[in-house]
Amino acid sequence: MSIISDVIESTKAIIKGMGVTFSYIPKEKWTVEYPDEPVTVQPRYRGQHLLHVDEHGREKCVACFLCAAACPSDCIYIIAADDPRSPEERIGVDERYAKVYNIDYGRCIFCGFCVEACPKDAITHGYNFELSVYNRADLLKTKDDLLITKQKQSPNYRVAFADEDVDSEYKEV
Amino acid sequence: MADLIKVTINGNVYETEKGARLIDVCREHGHAVPSFCYYSDLALQASCRMCLVRIEKMPKLQTSCTITCTDGMIVTTESEEIEKAQRAMVEFLLANHPLDCPVCDRGGECELQEMVFDWGGLEERFSERKNYAPEKFLSPMVANDPQRCILCKRCTRVCDEWMGEDAIEAGGRGAHTVIGTYDGWLNCSECGNCIEVCPTGTLLDATYRHQARPWELAQTITTCTFCSDGCQLSLGARVGEVMRAVARDRYVDGINGEFLCIKGRFAHPFINHEERIRTPLIRYKQGGRLVPATWDDAIGYTAARMRAIGEAHGADAFGIIGSPRLTNEANYALLKFAREVIGTENFTASDAFSLAPCFENLSAPLATHRDIRFAKTIILVGGEPEELQPLTGKQIRQAVRNGGARLVIFNSVPIRLKEQAAQFIHINPGTEDAVVLALAGANDDELAAGKLGVEAKTLADVRRALDETQGDCVLLFGSELSAAAMATLAQLPQLLGAREGRRFLLHPLPFYNNSVGAHDIGLMNAKLSVAQLLDQAGQGLRALYIAGSLLPEHLRGREETLRQLDLIVVQELFETETTALADVVFPAASFAETDGTFTNNAGQVQRVRQSIPPVHQARPDWMITAALASALNADFGFQLSASAVFREIAEHIAAYEGLRYPLLKDESRPVQAKHALAGARDMTGAIQEIRARIQSMNVTSARPTETPKVGHELFKPGTLTSKTPQFPLLYAGNPKPPTVLVSPLYQITVDANLRATTVAAGD
């Protein structure tokens, strides 16, 4: 083989490759410029859990341990306690509340069984997905991290509307 | 063998004993019959209507819990008709039952929940408002949610039949029937058996309220550490904390069934109490402070001091005191330490009284609690079992109520059991020995009757009753008897002679969980009693090694002489009056943190199992002794295994010969130690001694006429029981708080003198 044919073959390959590249330039861009732009998540997205409160600000959780029982990776740890005060003063909606409610995100597989098991709709999956930490111990989230009144929501996501077609922009590819 | 009859159930023919109850026969042969109100040990109720069956030639469906099998009975337990009736019943039961299972403490082990899984409908057709009643407290121990009640009345029957208290009763009519108490507040012995038998979450343990769910708890079968009855219970523990003690059938099936007393059920919070001694403590200087130390330091320090004292004063300068509260293993290790490491016979156990005279002259087997339940004649001399040995008390009560036994009580105090007694013989205080003299023969009736303060004819009546007994005759005796009287009573079966159809059984009533075990191991028949040993302090005795604490009656008045000793080593759970004198304190593990065995007052050797790892730096008592021995260059060879200690016990103690842990595994078949039976002994010497003792007795006939208050012993806040905050409250008279909606613990404070003061709720 001569050096000339080598050059021709290489040039052909470059033109073919760059052709693919240039053909995308006029097309619509689908790269999400995270974290400069928020990520669109589906309404049913399973992010970091949220512990909810009722309209009076009382925790909905009654520490029934069903989430912990349903959890396949055994990542929920609860200590229940008795709250003998009157319903208005209570921490939770009922006499029993979770004194400690920990989720170990080093173990959690985001399966959503805890949410399904909850008889009081006290735990749901939120949308926070930025769970990376520098220290493994920080993966253990306590009630201060999980309560809806305390959990800081990331500015880096937006939830899609129910009728919004979130998936299709990926499907085209 | 009773007559056998044939019963056909679902087309299968079964042979069964005449008089068997149909529901039992069905269940025995695997035909599941649901029920709520049926409880085999209680009177019949037939209020839940779940056990309906079709019996041929009988109109309508019948409740199988009330039917006695007859020959040729043809029964169907499963059919469309029966299922329809049962499903309808569950629907009716749920008509007023709230859907608050997530908050209910019974959720997960609730019989109603289980029944609804099998027989409940998918939807509720009742749209009417449910009866509402707020959750409340019936006593510091019992929480009550009336709307969860399905009116099976197990609680009222248990309270009446087992406890004889009738403290809880059903009131109102129809749909408005509620389980309640007189005066709205439960003033009883607070045994909590109503909580145990409740099939729903109506009656709840107030000490375990809202603490955990049952499936989160690791249940460990073990033996109770309080009285000498040795009830089997199941400790529920979670992450190193004991949360509750139950005797529910689904967890444990011991000699006590589902029975427990207030101590067994509610007095467990001491296990994880914050006042537990956490590390070994050393008092380096006389009069100084106890300073925390490491195990190595404490063991090394103790060993060095012991070695120095041994070299200076010899082996008999040491005294070793075991405890009737410790396991057999711990006491055996102490005995071995005394004999092999120190080389002294100065050992004993800190029990209130010694059973040695009884066991040396034992001429009849020990009565198990089942024997008492089915005995025909029961003689109780002294003691107060309903307060000090509640299971024995309950068995006596049931023997009379359900078995028709004849109960004769000799007591100087009109104890509560006298309600059940066929004959209550009120004797002068301190004359219990005269009872034994009278039972042994008619020769001394004049003398005995005179001192007892009863008529001679009464004594003759009791002897005649003993003569006429057909079946088991149980002799129970308390701590009041002198050594000679105890020996004579133990020989009574021989003195009265054997007769066809009559069997004598003995049942001592010691105070502590392992009093019998401490005797068996050999600590109690040592050459010195505790008092004698302690009295040598400052003379021959230079050092004491005490496991557990000394009893107040032994300690009081001897503090000064004990302080002069060179070394006092104590193994304890809490700081007590004894540890205040100690130079070295080792933190010991409680019964929930150690493996071992207890021997109860029926001679049954029962397992104690580890439920949680030892708290803080505590160690099991026998391990501490073994560590100390190894620091003194003696290897016990136990290698961290309680079963190895027990194997050695079995090799050395005749009564425990051949026993091993695997043989003691099944709590439903407790193994009785083989206490040697003495043949007929010549008791004239002992009888002479009793006679002389009685003759010289100066009797004051001031007999207490008032029945002692319920719980005067049970509620007494001791070292362990006072760690449950409810006990001081109960001992202060169990006052009714201003509101029953909140636990009285938040409303009433009890001061150091056990006087209750009411504070406003919420303070």
**Token output for B691:** 């006679």
pLDDT of res. B760: 52
pLDDT of res. B637: 86
Hey, of B99, B100, B101, B103, which one would you mutate to test binding to chain A, going by the most A CBs within 10 A of its CB? Answer: B103
pTM: 0.91
The CATH architecture one would assign to domain B356-508 is 3-Layer(aba) Sandwich (3.40)
pLDDT of res. B763: 40
- Of residues A68, A84, A94, nearest to B103 (C-beta): A94
Contacts of B703 (CB under 8 A, 6+ apart): B412, B413, B426, B427, B428, B429, B453
Hey, of A95, A114, A123, which one would you mutate to test binding to chain B, going by the most B CBs within 10 A of its CB? Answer: A95
- Of residues A66, A80, A83, nearest to B212 (C-beta): A80
How does DSSP classify residue B58?
S
ipTM for the whole complex: 0.83
- Model confidence over A112-162: pLDDT tens digits? 999 999 999 999 999 999 999 999 999 999 999 999 999 999 999 999 888
pLDDT of res. B283: 95
Chain A residue nearest residue B742, CA to CA: A84
Neighbours of B98 (CB within 10 A): 16
Pick the CATH number of B4-93 from 3.30.465.10, 3.40.50.300, 1.10.3720.10, 3.10.20.740: 3.10.20.740
- Residue B162, classed as helix, strand or coil, is coil
Pair B23, B38: CB distance under 8 Å: yes
Pairing of strands A157-159, A49-51: unpaired
Question: In Å, how far is A98's CA from the nearest CA of chain B?
Answer: 10
Average pLDDT, consecutive stretches of 10 residues, N- to C-terminus, chain B (763 residues): 84 92 94 91 88 92 93 93 92 89 92 90 84 90 93 93 91 87 90 94 92 94 95 95 94 94 95 96 92 96 95 93 95 95 92 92 94 95 94 95 93 93 92 91 84 90 90 94 93 87 94 95 86 87 93 90 92 94 96 96 96 95 95 88 94 94 94 91 89 86 87 91 92 90 88 73 42
**Token output for B510:** 């010691």
Q: What are phi and psi of B135, to 5 degrees?
A: -70, 145
Tell if the CB–CB gap between A64 and B102 is shorter than 8 Å: yes
Query: Which helix (H) or strand (E) covers residue B625, if one does?
Result: helix B621-631
Question: In Å, how far is B102's CA from the nearest CA of chain A?
Answer: 5
Collect all residues of chain B within an 8 Å Cβ-Cβ radius of residue A80: 210-213
Pair B136, B202: CB distance under 8 Å: no
Q: What are phi and psi of B166, to 5 degrees?
A: 55, 35
**Token output for A8:** 């021709």
**Token output for B323:** 């405890």
Collect all residues of chain A within an 8 Å Cβ-Cβ radius of residue B212: 65, 80
- Of residues B103, B742, B746, nearest to A64 (C-beta): B103
pLDDT of res. A152: 92
How does DSSP classify residue B52?
E
Whether chain A has a CB inside 8 Å of the CB on B664: the answer is no
Q: What are phi and psi of B467, to 5 degrees?
A: -65, -40
Whether chain B has a CB inside 8 Å of the CB on A64: the answer is yes
Question: In Å, how far is B213's CA from the nearest CA of chain A?
Answer: 7
Whether chain B has a CB inside 8 Å of the CB on A120: the answer is yes
**Token output for B604:** 């049954």
Contacts of B413 (CB under 8 A, 6+ apart): B384, B703, B704, B707, B708
Query: Which helix (H) or strand (E) covers residue B244, if one does?
Result: strand B241-246
Whether chain B has a CB inside 8 Å of the CB on A80: the answer is yes
Structural domain boundaries of chain B?
4-93, 123-272, 281-353+515-672, 356-508
Structural domain boundaries of chain A?
39-159
Question: In Å, how far is A61's CA from the nearest CA of chain B?
Answer: 10
**Token output for B131:** 């009866």
Tell if the CB–CB gap between B103 and A69 is shorter than 8 Å: no
Whether chain B has a CB inside 8 Å of the CB on A84: the answer is yes
Query: Which among B469, B505, B467 is positioned nearest to B369, based on CA atoms?
Result: B505
Hey, of A61, A64, A88, A91, which one would you mutate to test binding to chain B, going by the most B CBs within 10 A of its CB? Answer: A64
Pair B646, B659: CB distance under 8 Å: yes
- Residue B336, classed as helix, strand or coil, is helix
Indicate the fold that domain A39-159 takes in CATH. Alpha-Beta Plaits (3.30.70)
Q: Which residues are paired to B319 by β-bridges?
A: B544
Collect all residues of chain A within an 8 Å Cβ-Cβ radius of residue B762: 85-86
DSSP symbols for B322-334 = E-TTS-HHHHHHH
Collect all residues of chain B within an 8 Å Cβ-Cβ radius of residue A101: none
Instruction: Please state, in angstroms and as integers, the Cα–Cα distance from residue B306 to each residue in A62, B279, B319, B567, B617, following that order.
Output: 57, 20, 11, 8, 23
Chain A residue nearest residue B747, CA to CA: A84
Query: Which among B63, B41, B91, B45 is positioned nearest to B196, based on CA atoms?
Result: B41
- Cα distance from N-terminal residue to C-terminal residue, chain A: 39
pLDDT of res. B487: 93
Tell if the CB–CB gap between A80 and B743 is shorter than 8 Å: no
Indicate the fold that domain B123-272 takes in CATH. Alpha-Beta Plaits (3.30.70)
- Does the B281-353+515-672 domain belong in CATH 3.40.50.740? yes
Tell if the CB–CB gap between B215 and A69 is shorter than 8 Å: yes
Q: How far, in Å, CA of B482 to CA of A149, rounded?
A: 72
pLDDT of res. A39: 87
The ranges of chain A with pLDDT < 70 are 1, 167-173
- Residue B756, classed as helix, strand or coil, is strand
Total residue length of chain A = 173
Collect all residues of chain B within an 8 Å Cβ-Cβ radius of residue A81: 210-211
**Token output for B172:** 């109102």
Tell if the CB–CB gap between A64 and B135 is shorter than 8 Å: no
